[in-house]
Structure formats: structure tokens, C-alpha cells
């Protein structure tokens, strides 16, 4: 099974009618709401995945749910593909358009509509950035938990599409665990509301399946999200280990003992060197791997949990334990970790994988990752959310060397297959997008994929929403 | 809109072929796996809802997923309705059969297949009882969190069907938050696997929509559930209030402050009197309402959280605070609460409603509940999971008095509509079943219901799985 980044071939009838379509769209939501100049379309041709690009037919920038509904009605009538887009930070190509598609970018719908502390909820438009929710409620002692590294830029609509995670999701869960309700525009413009401020919902849990559906079931225009109270205190602690295996075995034992720190981040030696050179975080350099373990609560609670964790770490060859002594040191520790992708980009091109594995398989899969990269003669740096088994190997290569590029892609595929073969999953938080579409057959049996496609078709019988993504192009049974 | 408990009319062709069908089923899974004697079918004619009853065509008691698959293949071929059943403890009639249906009862599939502490997971067959999971891992310091009051009897398959909750779900979430994977037999016998021990899943989150789908999307035969470490200690505390409004305002302020105790249970004066007379729990009798607030953690942590909660309670007219001084006192406090339904049944017939509301509406909806019951001249006792806004008014009446019966049903409907009108939901944890089927139109717009039905049909295009439930019989658009 070869992986490809091919899109569905554009519909020539749509391309031929481009000017008419643009004029119609302008009629629907106004000139200032439609981008159609090829030069102005360039920022929308790809996203954070960057491995492929297409200029879309046009981009719409609606300001209201009603405008999104009008746009969808029009596109459904003429079978025009639609690519929903937030900030375009997708790492799996989820927002990359196809040539015959209208991109509907939600970035102008960026208002926080309501903050409701009594129900610990905020109602926001889909284009609000992740971090701005926490910013809006921080002074009152609350925050919104999922924290993808792109949280300064990425939007809540995109987070819902990809079911985004982040370093602190070990304790607080990913987007689906913090989402209470959505307003959803269906393929034909129908607006439905799912969930809300009350517990549970009668009937089927459509909200759960919409979260993580990568813009294929409808366009989320509003979301009600859970607010949490900020902890009394939080303390990241560095643990340096003699071996990478020791560090990963330590993670398994921490979680297996029932402890749930807020975060357990893993960095191997190459990642430590790359990040320390960039961020001067004070990471120990004489170790093979380190864990950043963050605990939170009162001073007493943090001390107690740390004692327990340190006693576990001692059984796995810990060489250094460094508690942050100040807010500045704590910030430096996280800065090193959160800048890992940027710091890596300084020294080489890289592709970042996003597999998950059961924690009991962490050591085996890490070892397998090293073996695979050695086989292809490539360097790899591992920096990832270890506590929930979400691995992010960064495979380093030279993008101008076709052989290395092909080797990097092959190594990435082998690593994801390794994750699946160890009971894991192709994706933890970046989504399938176009990147991992063809690997879906490695994850799922035909019957599983067929049922997913039937569900997809029950929402979007014309398959106009983000149609080139997630499901392999061949054998779309319900298309 | 009148509510009805009518089932779809039985298919006379199926009834006429009953003997052949039974013989075929015996061929499929053996004589000891099929119940067909009318006398032996009686235990399956209703469930915990008891408001209506039908003898099914037959009952199958499969022992393996393969047998369930064979049964579904057969039923799909001949369009025979199928009612999945666990322990039959449903409070909304979810397991009540129709006359032309095969009941597939999972009670023989009652093995715990694997306990995996390293991944904090247990793999169990669907017929395992809820409590037996915690029993199996308790000695190692773990437990399974959702704790419906029927946990001694109810099965994990039924819990998944209804997305069951319980008193301690305020902190730990309901079934969907503790479910990692399922094995599902589709309407045509296809077996698919959803989720597993690793975080997240590529593609659509079918597991989320299966959880709470009331046996209409397939039959769950195995589940992988999350295990949690038992807390160091737990302490229920009684708070007695001068007014019911004060108690409910206190709940809103506790949650609004960001505190998340393990449980906040509410009892009004009628409920206190009923439960105390039965359980002798030591409840204060000179108050209008009480809260049972349970905190957990180390002694220091519990003390700190309680101090905070007590200071909030003082602002809302708390008259009495009683901390349990021993494990025996703690058990007595919970015994009173958990026996509320049984204790109520001693003094009157009752129907138990299961609406949820945003916490900010708790006081208003409670007041509205009293007004409604007063209007119909009926007594009501309120005992419910206040922390997550899940109300359980028990409407007392005399089942042998047709006028009172009709009044109780009307009052129940009015209360559920009141919940919906205040931004809440028809059901918190008991499901829609047949009880609330016709109220779904009050909760949902046509477009919402139509989308749910399209999704349902994408799993079960023949609508053979539990077909009389959840969706109003009139206007089934995708049927």
C-alpha cells in the first residue's frame, strides 16, 4: 500500500464556472467577504503541513452562522467542494484546499459571546483562538484546558475539527472532553445545535462524533466549552535518566500506579541538545533522556505527589532531579519543550509523526523508532506527550535531497504502522488529514472503514465537505 | 403533543413464523441458548421501567461475539426486530421488548477478560456487572468510576447503551468519559472494533456515538474501560439548610467557584423524611434540604476543600454541618441516599424523572417542580445528583387510582419540558427509551432529529435494532 498526497481530480465544470460562482458568492455575503484574486488566495493554498499546496477556487470569510448557512446551501446546490478552515495550523494537511473548492475560513467569527462562570462555560465563535479563551477568564481564576503548542494562533473550530490535545491533556483530557456544545451548519445549510450547558443529551451523541471529524460532517460556527478553575500552584520538575528505556519505563510505572500528574513530557538526547541550544532551559546534558513532570495543587499536595514520583524514578536509573525554584525557571523549562519544533527547524528539515501507543508499549515502540530511522540512515529526535502515549518523533532530513525526502517519508510511515501494530493509533492530536489518509487501511479493517463512511455520508451525502481527506480515495463504499 | 408508550405494531408474518424462527435460532446457537417457552419468557417482558410489558418472540443467550454475529445475520435476513438486553434495570424502558422481537440478552457473557494496570484498563464482556469490575481490581487499589445506584445488578453493556452516570460522576464523568473501546456487532452481523488502549482514534469517533445509543446502532459484546486509582481517603459531609433554595444556590456557588468535589447530592425535606425513616442515617430533621458533599484525597486536602465549601454554605443559610467521624457513619450517610428509591417505594407508588439543567437554573427548576406537583395535587420528593444538574424528582401517587396515575404522568412530562425550557435535557443517565420518546420533539428541532435518524440509519438501515425506542414513531424521515 503506497501513500499518496493526491487530491480528488478537480471538477472541470466547476473550474469553468469560476467567475459566475464568485459573483454569486459576492451576492450572498458581499464583496468584502469573498477572496478571489489569485495573489490574495496564496495564503490559503496550504497549511502547517506544507507538503502539498493548491490554490482554491475562492475563499469566503463569513461573519455569521447565517452567512455560513447561505454559503453551504449554494455549494450543495452546485456540488462545489468546501474546505472549512480556522487558522491553517493543521499539521496533517486538514485545511489544504483542492482547486475546485471554496474555502470557508472562520477567522472573522472571532468573538467570545458569553462567559458563564456559574455553569463553568464559555460560548465562543469558531474563529476565536484557543489561548484567547484562557486569557478572557484568567483574571477570574479560570482557564480552558486543551493547550496545543499552536494555541496562540489556532482556533477553537480547528481544535474541534482535529480533537486537539496538548501537553496538559494528560490530566484534563483533549478537546472532546472539554466541549459542551456546538452549533453546526450541515452540508445543505441546515443549522443544528448539539449539546449545551446541561449534562448529557437525549438521543444520539452527535457532538462526540463531530469532534475530530476534520470538517467532514459540517461546519462548526459556535462552541460552548468547559472552563476549569486554575490550580493553586503548578511545578514542572526535570528528571534526567541514564537511558531512554529507563525514562519510558518510568512513565509506564507512574501511570500504572494510578498517579495522574498534569503533564509528563519526554525528550531524548537529540531533542535535549536541540532544545537546550535554542532555549537555554537549563536541561541536564549528561543524560540520555529527560522527563518534564508537572504537578499541581497546594505546596503540600505537590510535595507529596513528587515524593511518590521520585521514588518511582529511582527504580529506573534517574541521574538528576531538578525542581523549578521560581516562576522564571518553570517558564524556561516549558519554553525549551514548547519550542522543540521551531528549534529543530533551525538545524534541519523534519517531519513530525503523531502516533499513539498504549503506555505498556512505549519502550518497545521507542526502540523500534530508533531502529527504523537507523535503517533509513536518518537522525531522529523524540519529544512527546509521554503520559498519554502520544509520540512525536521528528525525523530530520534535507528536503532538497530527493532520496532523503523519500526515506523520511518511508520511515514516518513505518513508524506509524509500528504504533498501530503495537495496539496504538495513527494520530493522537494532529488528525488524519491528507497526510495519513492512505494509512487508514493499516489501522482499520474494511468493515470499520465502511461503517465510518456510512456515517460520514449520513451527514454529507454529496461528500462535498473536505472530500479529499481522511478516507482513502479508492473504494469509498458510501460515496 | 401527547406522550404514548405504544410500540410499533408487530409484524404478523414474523409472529406466524415463530416456530420456524425458534427452530432456526436453536440451530444457530443450541437449545440451551434459546428461551421460547412463554412461561420462561415472562422475566423478559419488561424492565425497571415496568410501565408497559410485552412477551417477546424469543430470547437468545449467546456466549460469544460470534454467536451474537450469527443471530444478527439471521435477524437482518428476515427483518426480525432485536432488543439488546443486559440486566434489565433500565428506568426508561430501554430493554422492554416488542412481540415480534428477539431479545438478545448478554448476561452469559460475563467474564472479565483482562486487567491491565500498566494501561489502567480492563477488558470485559458486555454482561459483566458494573460493580464486579471495581471488585476485581479493588485489592490492587483501583476502581471503575461510574456508579449507577443499580451497580450491583446492571451490566457494563447496559451502562454503555444508556451512558450511565451515578453519584460520583461529578468528578469522574459518566460512562462515555471512562470508556476506551468496544467490540460492536452491527445489524448485519459484521463485527467492528472501536477505540482501544491507546489515546484517540484516527477517523470518526464512532465509539462516542455508540455510547448512549440505547442499543440502536449495534450490540456491544466487549468493552475496554478505564481504571482509576482509589483516592487516599474519602469523606461525605452532611449540610442541612434552612431552605431548598439556599441549598441549590450553594451548589451553584460551589461549582461556579471551580471546586469539584467527588459528589454533591441533594435531598429536600420529603426525601429526607422518607430516607431517614428507612435507613436511620442520622440526617438532620429540622432542615428543609440537605446536601451530601463528598470530598477525597489526603486528610489535609479534604480539610482544605471542606473549609472552602463550609464558607460558601454559610452564605446560603446552612444550619447544620455534620462530618462523618468513621467509616460506619460514612456508610450510613450513603445508605440513606442510595436507598432513596426503595424507601420511597415503601410509602407510595412513584415515577422518577431524570432531567438535567444548567446549574444556574437549579433553583428555578426546583421551584417550578414544586409548583407543577402542587398544581396536580401530588406529593414530590427530590433527591438527585445536584453537582452536575441531574434532577430526579420522585412523583408520588397511587397506581390504582387512574386519575392520579394520569396526573403523575402529566406532571412528569411538564417537569421534563421545564428542564428543556431552562436549557436542560430530557435525560441525564436513564436514557430516552420508550418513556421519553415522544418528548424528543420538545427537546429537538426537526432538523436535529432528522440528522440523528440519518446517523441511526447509517448503522442500521433496516431499523431492526430496538426500533420502537428513542425516536418518535411518527415522521421517521430516514426509516
The H or E element spanning position A330 is: helix A327-338
CB contact under 8 A, A204 and B452: yes
Place A182 in a pLDDT band, splitting at 50, 70 and 90.
very high
CB contact under 8 A, B174 and A471: no
Residues paired with B384 in a beta bridge: B266
- What per-residue confidence (pLDDT) applies to B479? 47
- Of residues B208 and A128, more confidence is placed in A128
- What per-residue confidence (pLDDT) applies to A200? 67
Pick the residue of A162, A203, A416 with the most B CBs within 10 A to test the interface with B by mutation.
A203
CB B374 within 8 A of CB B380: no
Q: How many helices (H) and strands (E) does chain B have?
A: 17, 18
Pick the residue of A202, A215, A357, A425 with the most B CBs within 10 A to test the interface with B by mutation.
A202
- How many whole angstroms separate alpha carbon B263 and alpha carbon B388? 9
A422 pLDDT more than 70: yes
CB contact under 8 A, B451 and A141: no
- How many whole angstroms separate alpha carbon B114 and alpha carbon B123? 5
| A-contacting residues in B 431-470 (Cβ below 8 Å) | 432, 436, 439-440, 443-445, 447-449, 451-452, 454-459, 470
**What is the CA B89 to chain-centroid distance, rounded?**
9
SS3 content of chain B, % helix, strand, coil (to 5): 40, 20, 40
Place A16 in a pLDDT band, splitting at 50, 70 and 90.
very high
Q: Is B282 exposed, middle or buried (0-12, 13-18, 19+ CB in 10 A)?
A: middle
CB A240 within 8 A of CB A333: no
The answer to whether B191 faces chain A, any CB pair under 8 Å, is yes
- How many whole angstroms separate alpha carbon A273 and alpha carbon A129? 31
Average pLDDT over residues A225-235: 93
Give me the phi and psi of A121, to 5 degrees please: -140, 150
CB contact under 8 A, B204 and A198: no
CB B261 within 8 A of CB B305: yes
Average pLDDT over residues B400-421: 94
CB B457 within 8 A of CB B463: yes
CB contact under 8 A, B425 and A142: no
Residues paired with A394 in a beta bridge: A352, A381
Please write the tens of the pLDDT for every residue from B174-231.
999 999 999 999 999 999 999 988 876 677 889 999 999 999 999 999 999 999 999 9
Average pLDDT over residues B353-375: 94
Pick the residue of A137, A142, A194, A199 with the most B CBs within 10 A to test the interface with B by mutation.
A199
A479 pLDDT more than 50: no
Would you state the cell numbers that stand for residue B46, as one nine-digit string? 419488561
Please write the tens of the pLDDT for every residue from A350-407.
989 999 999 999 999 999 999 999 999 999 999 999 998 999 999 999 989 999 999 9
Please write the tens of the pLDDT for every residue from B29-66.
999 999 999 999 999 999 988 888 999 999 999 999 99
Pick the residue of B119, B140, B169, B203 with the most A CBs within 10 A to test the interface with A by mutation.
B203
Nearest to B429 among A200, A205, A449 (CB): A200
Chain A nearest-CA residue for B457? A458
With CA atoms as reference, report the closest residue to A169 among A341, A390, A362: A390
**B464 secondary structure, DSSP code:** -
Which residues of chain B are within 8 Å of residue A440 when distances are taken between CB atoms? 202-203
User: What percentage of residues in chain B have a pLDDT greater than 90?
Assistant: 82
B478 pLDDT more than 60: no
A280 pLDDT more than 80: yes
What would the 3-class secondary structure string for A232-260 be? CEEEEEEEEECCHHHHHHHHHHHHHCCCC
- Picking from A260-264, A335-339, A445-449, which range would have the lowest pLDDT averaged per residue? A335-339
Nearest to B198 among A198, A389, A458 (CB): A389
Going by DSSP bridges, is the β-strand pair A58-60/A102-105 parallel, antiparallel, or unpaired?
parallel
- How many whole angstroms separate alpha carbon A201 and alpha carbon B440? 10
Which residues of chain B are within 8 Å of residue A201 when distances are taken between CB atoms? 425
Please write the tens of the pLDDT for every residue from A61-76.
999 999 999 999 999 9
- How many whole angstroms separate alpha carbon A421 and alpha carbon A241? 27
- How many whole angstroms separate alpha carbon B271 and alpha carbon B337? 9
- What per-residue confidence (pLDDT) applies to A415? 96
B1 pLDDT more than 70: no
Dihedral in degrees, nearest 10, Cα atoms B241, B244, B247, B248:
180
CB contact under 8 A, B298 and A298: no
CB contact under 8 A, B360 and A205: no
- How many whole angstroms separate alpha carbon B411 and alpha carbon B415? 6
Give me the phi and psi of A125, to 5 degrees please: -75, 160
The answer to whether A206 faces chain B, any CB pair under 8 Å, is yes
CB A175 within 8 A of CB A159: yes
Count CB neighbours of B31 within 10 A. Answer: 9
Nearest to A425 among B198, B252, B255 (CB): B198
The answer to whether A138 faces chain B, any CB pair under 8 Å, is no
Q: Measuring CA to CA, how many Å separate A10 from each of A88, A101, A310?
A: 21, 8, 57
The answer to whether B194 faces chain A, any CB pair under 8 Å, is yes
- How many whole angstroms separate alpha carbon B467 and alpha carbon B470? 8
Residues paired with B102 in a beta bridge: B58, B82
| A-contacting residues in B 380-419 (Cβ below 8 Å) | 388-390, 419
Q: Is B89 exposed, middle or buried (0-12, 13-18, 19+ CB in 10 A)?
A: buried
CB contact under 8 A, A358 and B425: no
A4 pLDDT more than 90: no
Which residues of chain B are within 8 Å of residue A423 when distances are taken between CB atoms? 196-198
- Picking from A457-466, B67-76, B184-193, B322-331, which range would have the lowest pLDDT averaged per residue? B322-331
Place A197 in a pLDDT band, splitting at 50, 70 and 90.
confident
Please write the tens of the pLDDT for every residue from B135-151.
999 999 999 999 998 89
CB contact under 8 A, A459 and B455: yes
The answer to whether A120 faces chain B, any CB pair under 8 Å, is yes
Max avg pLDDT among A104-118, A337-351, B332-346: A104-118
A478 pLDDT more than 70: no
With a threshold of 0.85, tell me whether the complex ipTM lies above it. Answer: no
CB within 8 Å of A250: residues ≥ 6 apart: A239, A241, A291, A312, A313, A315, A316, A318
Would you state the cell numbers that stand for residue B89, as one nine-digit string? 434495570
Would you state the cell numbers that stand for residue A396, as one nine-digit string? 530530520
Average pLDDT over residues B75-81: 98
Q: Is B400 exposed, middle or buried (0-12, 13-18, 19+ CB in 10 A)?
A: exposed
- What per-residue confidence (pLDDT) applies to B207? 92
Task: Give the count of Cβ contacts less than 8 A between chain A and B.
Answer: 257
A201 pLDDT more than 80: no
Nearest to B456 among A204, A229, A360 (CB): A204
The answer to whether A472 faces chain B, any CB pair under 8 Å, is no
Average pLDDT over residues B249-277: 94
Please write the tens of the pLDDT for every residue from A250-271.
999 999 898 989 999 999 999 9
Average pLDDT over residues A183-202: 90
CB contact under 8 A, A425 and B174: no
The rounded mean pLDDT for chain B is 93
Domains and CATH numbers, chain B: 112-229 (3.30.465.10), 234-421 (3.40.462.10)
The rounded mean pLDDT for chain A is 93
- What per-residue confidence (pLDDT) applies to A3? 64
A108 pLDDT more than 90: yes
A272 pLDDT more than 50: yes
Amino acid at each position: 500500500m503506497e501513500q499518496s498526497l493526491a487530491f480528488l481530480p478537480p471538477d472541470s465544470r466547476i473550474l469553468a464556472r469560476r467567475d459566475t460562482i464568485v459573483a454569486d458568492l459576492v451576492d450572498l455575503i458581499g464583496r468584502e467577504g469573498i477572496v478571489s484574486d489569485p495573489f490574495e488566495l496564496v495564503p490559503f493554498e496550504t497549511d502547517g503541513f506544507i507538503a502539498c499546496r493548491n490554490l482554491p477556487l475562492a475563499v469566503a470569510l463569513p461573519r455569521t452562522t447565517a452567512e455560513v448557512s447561505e454559503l453551504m446551501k449554494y455549494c450543495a446546490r452546485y456540488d462545489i467542494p468546501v474546505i472549512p478552515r480556522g487558522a491553517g495550523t493543521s499539521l496533517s494537511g486538514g485545511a489544504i484546499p483542492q482547486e475546485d473548492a471554496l474555502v470557508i475560513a472562520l477567522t472573522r467569527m472571532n468573538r467570545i459571546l458569553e462567559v458563564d462562570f456559574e455553569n463553568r462555560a464559555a460560548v465562543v465563535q469558531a474563529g476565536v483562538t484557543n489561548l484567547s479563551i484562557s486569557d478572557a477568564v484568567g483574571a477570574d481564576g479560570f482557564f480552558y484546558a486543551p493547550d496545543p503548542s499552536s494555541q496562540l494562533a489556532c482556533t477553537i473550530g480547528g481544535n474541534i475539527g482535529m480533537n486537539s490535545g496538548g501537553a496538559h491533556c494528560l490530566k484534563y483530557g483533549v478537546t472532546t472532553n472539554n466541549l459542551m456544545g456546538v452549533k453546526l451548519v450541515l452540508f445543505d445549510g441546515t443549522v443544528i445545535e448539539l449539546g449545551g450547558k446541561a449534562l448529557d443529551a437525549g438521543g444520539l451523541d452527535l457532538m462526540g462524533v463531530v469532534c475530530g471529524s476534520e470538517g467532514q460532517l459540517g461546519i462548526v460556527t459556535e462552541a460552548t466549552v468547559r472552563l476549569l478553575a486554575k490550580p493553586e500552584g503548578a511545578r514542572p520538575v526535570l528528571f534526567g535518566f541514564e537511558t531512554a528505556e529507563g525514562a519510558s519505563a518510568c512513565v509506564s510505572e507512574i501511570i500504572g500506579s494510578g498517579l495522574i500528574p498534569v503533564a509528563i513530557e519526554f525528550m531524548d538526547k537529540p531533542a535535549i541538545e536541540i532544545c537546550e541550544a535554542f532555549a537555554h532551559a537549563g536541561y541536564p546534558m549528561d543524560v540520555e533522556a529527560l522527563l518534564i513532570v508537572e504537578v499541581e495543587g497546594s505546596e503540600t499536595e505537590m510535595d507529596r505527589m513528587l515524593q511518590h514520583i521520585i521514588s518511582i524514578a529511582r527504580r529506573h536509573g534517574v541521574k538528576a532531579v531538578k525542581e523549578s525554584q521560581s516562576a522564571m525557571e518553570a517558564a524556561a523549562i516549558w519554553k525549551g519543550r514548547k519550542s522543540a519544533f521551531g528549534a529543530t527547524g533551525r538545524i534541519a528539515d523534519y517531519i513530525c509523526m503523531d502516533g499513539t501507543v498504549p503506555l505498556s508499549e512505549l519502550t518497545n515502540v521507542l526502540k523500534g523508532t530508533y531502529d527504523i530511522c537507523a535503517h533509513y540512515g536518518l537522525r531522529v529526535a523524540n519529544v512527546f506527550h509521554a503520559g498519554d502515549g502520544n509520540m512525536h518523533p521528528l525525523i530530520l532530513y534535507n528536503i532538497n535531497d530527493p532520496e532523503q525526502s523519500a526515506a523520511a517519508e518511508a520511515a514516518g510511515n513505518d513508524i506509524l504502522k509500528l504504533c498501530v501494530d503495537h495496539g496504538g493509533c495513527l494520530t493522537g492530536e494532529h488528525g488524519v488529514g491528507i497526510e495519513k489518509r492512505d494509512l487508514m487501511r493499516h489501522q482499520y479493517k474494511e468493515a470499520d472503514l465502511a461503517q465510518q463512511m456510512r456515517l460520514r455520508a449520513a451527514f454529507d451525502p454529496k461528500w462535498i465537505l473536505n472530500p479529499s481527506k481522511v478516507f482513502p480515495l479508492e473504494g469509498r463504499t458510501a460515496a
